[in-house]
Amino acid sequence: MSDRAPDLPQRRINVSLSDRSYDVVVGSGVLKGGGAFDALPRGERAVIVTNDIVGPLFGEMAERALRARFSRISTITIPDGEPNKNWQTLNRIFDGLIDAQCDRETTLVALGGGVVGDLTGFAAASYMRGVSYVQVPTTLLAQVDSSVGGKTAINHPAAKNMIGAFHQPSLVVADADTLRTLPERELICGLAEVIKYGAALDTAFLGWIDAHLTELLARDGDALTHAVVRSCEIKAEVVAADERESGHRELLNFGHTFAHAIELGTGYGTWLHGEAVGCGMLMAVEASRLLGLIDAQRADRISELIVRAGLPSRAPHLGIGRYLELMRLDKKARGGEVRLVLLTGPAGATVQRVDDQLVAAVVSKFQA
């Protein structure tokens, strides 16, 4: 693969949800090439919600593209980072919408990473009891995961993503060119979610990731676009089958129960979400191995790939009791018992309750 891929044709992945179906548009240059927002009805007003890092990079480009569909476009800028995914920042969005006298016909446009997307989606779900919104993710993690599926939330001091709503976007526009400005740490975080899809749901895709990891780390355009497209295809299939995460969609949380404990236990923003997911997947692989659900070969293959991607392999020392306390706050927990997404057999995954002794054994192995 070349170091710089030419602009690729747009790929459209449909998220099939009856009258709430929408497309995910993926490709290099889709923002500047025009037509990315053609699926939207013409409207009076769009409000871009972005942060103080992404706005200067892509705000004007997004506004130019949106002018084909909207006659009035304004911007609300919020602070960057996971520590700002809270009520205060959400209210800044509401303040901006109210000050501008935005009505129910307003479309919000989330331009940024997962924090911007989650906050904008939650604001759209809540403002005037619901307005439409569009996701324009600019990080790899957001393009392959958080922008698709309609999960919106803010963090509570006691639990991650505990307050939110399911509210599907009208459209997702993922421009691979925006990844060229992504810091290395953020790129690696996105690879954690890409690996998650392969490990839990598509062993052929896992093999492709393994074979093309060097290209992905080097930001090869063809490789990144394929990774985004295949990840979105997998997520679209899962969301169409289980929109409200009552069963099969829980498999998308592979590694996340440990990860959310790490993020909360160390303080939001100390570990980036993808870093915590990478370490959490290693811990979930070990739990699967200890339970005899997978053999050593599968465990080693996935663990080695996670480490090769540059993700952390040691968990922070929070203490076993603190891990258990935080993991019981996970949304998959039932009756105070921890439930984990675990790998099974040569290619599968499942969700099941695990006892405290197993969690303790895994945490003891991985704590730094």
- The predicted-structure confidence for 316-361, as pLDDT tens digits, reads as follows 999 999 999 999 999 888 888 999 999 999 999 999 999 999 999 9
- List the chain domain ranges: 11-228, 254-366
Give the Cα separation of 154 and 1 in Å (integer): 39
Instruction: Determine whether 253 is an active site residue.
Output: yes
Instruction: Determine whether 256 is an active site residue.
Output: yes
State phi, psi for 135 to the nearest 5 degrees: -100, 125
Instruction: Determine whether 86 is an active site residue.
Output: no
Q: Which of 85, 249, 298, 328 is catalytic?
A: 249
State phi, psi for 334 to the nearest 5 degrees: -135, 130
CA atoms lying within 13 Å on the CB side of residue 212: 24
Tell me, what's the pLDDT at 189? 98
pTM over 0.75: yes
Tell me, what's the pLDDT at 5? 38
Q: Which of 256, 289, 298, 339 is catalytic?
A: 256
In sequence order, the 6+-apart residues with CB closer than 8 A to the CB of 28 are: 5, 6, 7, 8, 175, 176, 177, 221, 225
Q: Which of 11, 92, 253, 286 is catalytic?
A: 253
β-sheet bridge partners, residue 50:
77, 111
Instruction: Determine whether 167 is an active site residue.
Output: no
Instruction: Determine whether 365 is an active site residue.
Output: no
* DSSP H or E segment with residue 23: strand 22-27
Give the Cα separation of 350 and 17 in Å (integer): 24
Q: Which of 167, 226, 273, 289 is catalytic?
A: 273
Instruction: Determine whether 260 is an active site residue.
Output: yes
Could you please state the CATH topology (level 3) that the domain comprising 11-228 is classified under: Rossmann fold (3.40.50)
Q: Which of 82, 186, 215, 245 is catalytic?
A: 245
Domain spanning 254-366, CATH architecture: Up-down Bundle (1.20)
Q: Which of 82, 193, 250, 263 is catalytic?
A: 193
Q: pLDDT (tens digit, 0 to 9) for every residue of the chain, 368 residues total?
A: 433 334 447 899 999 999 999 999 999 999 987 788 999 999 999 999 999 999 999 999 999 999 999 999 999 999 999 999 999 999 999 999 999 999 999 999 999 999 999 999 999 999 999 999 999 999 999 999 999 999 999 999 999 999 999 999 999 999 999 999 999 999 999 999 999 999 999 999 999 999 999 999 999 999 999 999 999 999 999 999 999 998 999 999 999 999 999 999 999 999 999 999 999 999 999 999 999 999 999 999 999 999 999 999 999 999 999 999 999 999 888 888 999 999 999 999 999 999 999 999 999 999 97
**Contact present, 352 and 334 (Cβ < 8 Å):** no
Instruction: Determine whether 151 is an active site residue.
Output: yes
Give the Cα separation of 143 and 187 in Å (integer): 11
pLDDT digit string, tens, across residues 280-291: 999 999 999 999
With the C-alpha atoms ordered 138, 144, 149, 153, is the resulting torsion angle positive or negative?
negative
Instruction: Determine whether 193 is an active site residue.
Output: yes
